[in-house]
Amino acid sequence: MSAAMSEYSKLYDQSIHDPQRFWGIFARNFLSWDHDFHTTQNGSFAGGDVSWFLGGRLNASFNCIDRHALRCPNKIAINYVSDDGTNDCSLTYRELLAQVCSLAGTLRAMGVNKGDVVTIYLPMIPEAAIAMLACARIGAVHSVVFAGFSADALADRIVDARSRVLITADEGRRGGKAVRLKEVVDEAVAKPSCAGLVSSVLVHRHVGVENLPWTEGRDRWWREEQERQPRYIEPVSISAEDPLFLLYTSGSTGKPKGVQHTIGGYLLGAATTGKYVLGLGQNDRLFCAGDVGWITGHTYAVYSPLILGATTVIFEGTPVFPTPSRYWEIVDRLQVTHFYAAPTALRLLKRLGNDHITPFAMQHLRVLASVGEPIAPDVWTWYHDVVGQEKCSVVDTYWQTETGSHVVAPLAGVTPTKPGAATLPFFGIEPVLLEPVTGTPVEGDGVEGVLAFKQPWPSMARTILGDHKRFVDTYLKVYEGYYFTGDRASRDADGHYWILGRVDDVINVSGHRLSTAEIEAALLSHASVGEAAVVGVNDELTGQAVVAFISTTAASEDPADLAGRLRRHVRESIGAFAAPKKVVVVDDLPKTRSGKIMRRILRKIAAGEQDQLGDLSTLADPSVVERIIHAVHG
């Protein structure tokens, strides 16, 4: 064992056996406190009342900006890369402080007070981070809604949060196309459910749209309002357990869940995982390709790099516009040291060939991270060998919106890695594999089960806004005394964890318990398959049957012929019992805007329950659903 791994083991043991002392020391080392906390942690999963750093007071904006602006005011805090590359800019920590303070003053002048929720509907531009930090400075709660959600989805989130103030832009740009923002906001606010709720809409002139629809008395220009405010206002001292933000996730019921994170614990999770998992330091430049509308963008495009005094790269565009070299050109030009993206984007870029990568030296790059789903071993190897030129650490991170920060992941340059494995738990995370029916722990190595956690950690969400019972029932009561991730995992002989997919992604065919992830991996190993998703449907003969949905890399393929070859391929790769009963060849799969395949939708379609699809607002292209229904049912 290396000295670095020995140090990890030592710190990990301390975090499990004496979490009060461990996290107390880390909290005081990583964060600046206005008033020290008297109790490190209180409450339990069983009680549904977990809390951290009681009595402590701090401010997220101060921790992300002021302390760095005092030490190195001219250091670049944000490098912004526009969609077409013609409007790039940068902000120093001093400039970021001035922008955040003047916007915070604007919000306060508009009547926003501590605890009020401000909805942010902005593209991936510096103003998104500025808006989040301005809310944090005055103790308001930000609720970022992905700039691409429909008016209905936006209205649902505004209403649930009871948000009176909304921040948006005239338009965005993505892949060379206009993204309507102000128009969508107007549609959302005009919904009957929003009647009389939103009193102010603050608009950033991002693109310069002429004749923008305007409601006098409600709509205000960002810059004009900012100019009336001072360049510095004092940060408000906030209790560590007060909410920092809401982030909505969608469930099968169709009602979005407002997951609520608190200031102290969340900031500590963002800081410690940034330092230890990603190996991020104040002289580094992190390019996190996750949008700020999702938890990845919150934690690793905004809070983590700024808390650590690093530089964050904020990119408004897509990986293939104007060419598939876009990511690598940015990494090379901005001397990026850490790159973080989803396997969906990496699979796409791998398929497009290495000629788009090799012209770029990317000599400063040290860490390559992935997020959102397990990364397939062949993509992991390509990421390491081709993108990283065999010299970068690959960090496959497992976590969720509800965990706030990484929970199972290798430490860059420290943990021995394996393609496709999430590897080892982070500090304070004590994983356990449970037998699905009885909930008893599955002991030993070479086993699998439901992944759960034994004890609380600082960055975990505290509740669902307005429905704490739903939070407790969803995460803390499924297996009493544990946090339920909803995922299955295995543990190998080295104690490394492998994420196998959601708990409901297990198919029982004639007594064989099959992992959909394993069948998908077999399908993806076929040269004609671009993407794959596998679901189970009820079957009178076998109990359940396997249905595979695939998009092909070869448009000229005959669907029926390809389906037959894929069934044979799975039979040869895994066994006859795993061969799909039906293979549906489609042009695309239903994915969220963050790239996650929505298997619950495919499961409903395969079962003939297309009238019960639930919330579709998170889909990047809802029209895909109708095409899949037609392919399955005609």
> Does the residue 598 lie in any domain?
yes
Q: How confident is the model at residue 510 (pLDDT cuts 50, 70, 90)?
A: confident
Q: How far is the C-alpha of 208 from the C-alpha of 52, rounded, in Å?
A: 45
- DSSP tag of 235: P
Q: How confident is the model at residue 612 (pLDDT cuts 50, 70, 90)?
A: confident
Hey, CA dihedral for 13, 14, 17, 19, is it positive or negative?
negative
Which region among 307-311, 344-348, 372-376, 593-597 has the lowest average model confidence (pLDDT)?
Answer: 593-597
Which DSSP helix (H) or strand (E) runs through 449?
strand 447-453
Q: How confident is the model at residue 511 (pLDDT cuts 50, 70, 90)?
A: low
pLDDT of residue 461: 99
Contact 506, 514 (CB under 8 A): yes
Q: Mean pLDDT, to the nearest integer, of 124-142?
A: 99
> Does the residue 623 lie in any domain?
yes
- Of 111, 134, 107, 191, which Cα lies nearest the Cα of 157? 191
Cα 159 to Cα 117, 131, 182, 185, distances in angstroms: 11, 20, 18, 13
Residue 65 has pLDDT above 70, yes or no: yes
Q: Mean pLDDT, to the nearest integer, of 177-202?
A: 96
Q: How far is the C-alpha of 568 from the C-alpha of 570, rounded, in Å?
A: 6
Hey, CA dihedral for 618, 623, 629, 632, is it positive or negative?
negative
Bond from prior residue into 19 cis (ω within 30 degrees of 0): no
CA dihedral 186, 188, 193, 195 (to 10 degrees): -10
> Does the residue 545 lie in any domain?
yes
Q: In b/e form, how buried is each residue of 571-606, taking b as 16+ CB within 10 angstroms?
A: eebbeeebbbbebbbbeebbbbbbbbbbbbbbbbbb
Residue 43 has pLDDT above 50, yes or no: yes
> Does the residue 559 lie in any domain?
yes
Residue, of 318 and 507, whose pLDDT is higher: 318
Q: How confident is the model at residue 611 (pLDDT cuts 50, 70, 90)?
A: confident
Which region among 416-425, 507-516, 575-584 has the lowest average model confidence (pLDDT)?
Answer: 507-516
pLDDT of residue 253: 44
Q: How far is the C-alpha of 363 from the C-alpha of 334, rounded, in Å?
A: 11
Residue 502 has pLDDT above 90, yes or no: no
> Does the residue 331 lie in any domain?
no
- DSSP tag of 441: B
> Does the residue 245 lie in any domain?
no
Residue 146 has pLDDT above 70, yes or no: yes
Which tokens go with 252? 């099968």
Q: How confident is the model at residue 252 (pLDDT cuts 50, 70, 90)?
A: very low
What does the pLDDT look like over 314-344, one tens digit per residue? 999 999 999 999 999 999 999 999 999 998 8
Q: Mean pLDDT, to the nearest integer, of 248-260?
A: 73
Q: How far is the C-alpha of 618 from the C-alpha of 598, rounded, in Å?
A: 9
Q: How far is the C-alpha of 15 from the C-alpha of 12, rounded, in Å?
A: 5
- Of 236, 42, 206, which Cα lies nearest the Cα of 134? 236
Distance of CA 466 to the CA centre of its chain: 23
CB-count burial class (<10 Å; 0-12, 13-18, 19+) for 489? buried
Most confidently modeled of 47-51, 519-523, 598-602, 622-626?
47-51
Q: How far is the C-alpha of 134 from the C-alpha of 138, rounded, in Å?
A: 7
Where do runs of H (alpha helix) occur along 49-118? 60-61, 67-71, 93-109
Identify the domain containing residue 612 by its residue range.
Answer: 504-633
Domain count, the chain: 1
CA angle centred on 492, ends 579 and 390, rounded to 5°: 90
Q: Mean pLDDT, to the nearest integer, of 576-580?
A: 86
Chain-wide mean pLDDT for the chain?
94
* Pairing label, strands 117-121, 285-288: unpaired
Contact 451, 487 (CB under 8 A): yes
What does the pLDDT look like over 379-395, one tens digit per residue? 999 999 999 999 999 99
Which region among 107-116, 180-189, 473-482, 539-548 has the lowest average model confidence (pLDDT)?
Answer: 539-548
User: 335: how many CB neighbours lie within 10 A of its CB?
Assistant: 14
Distance of CA 425 to the CA centre of its chain: 18
> Does the residue 310 lie in any domain?
no
Residue 616 has pLDDT above 90, yes or no: no
Hey, CA dihedral for 450, 456, 458, 463, is it positive or negative?
positive
pLDDT of residue 513: 66
Tell me the CB-side half-sphere exposure of residue 447, using CA atoms within 13 A. 13
CATH of residue 624: 3.30.300.30
Write the DSSP assignment of 561-595 as a string of letters. Answer: HHHHHHHHHHHHHT-GGGS-SEEEEES---BBTTS
Q: Mean pLDDT, to the nearest integer, of 45-71?
A: 98
pLDDT of residue 625: 94
| Cβ-based neighbours of 312, under 8 Å, separated by 6 or more | 77, 78, 79, 129, 285, 286, 287, 288, 301, 302, 305, 306
Q: Mean pLDDT, to the nearest integer, of 241-251?
A: 89
Residue 288 has pLDDT above 90, yes or no: yes
> Does the residue 629 lie in any domain?
yes
Strand partners, 91: 78
Q: What 3-state class would DSSP assign to 409?
A: coil
Q: How far is the C-alpha of 288 from the C-alpha of 144, rounded, in Å?
A: 17
Q: How far is the C-alpha of 32 from the C-alpha of 63, rounded, in Å?
A: 6
Which tokens go with 499? 């994420």
Q: What 3-state class would DSSP assign to 540?
A: coil
Region for residue 442 given its phi and psi (left: phi exceeds 0; alpha: psi -120 to 50; beta: otherwise): beta
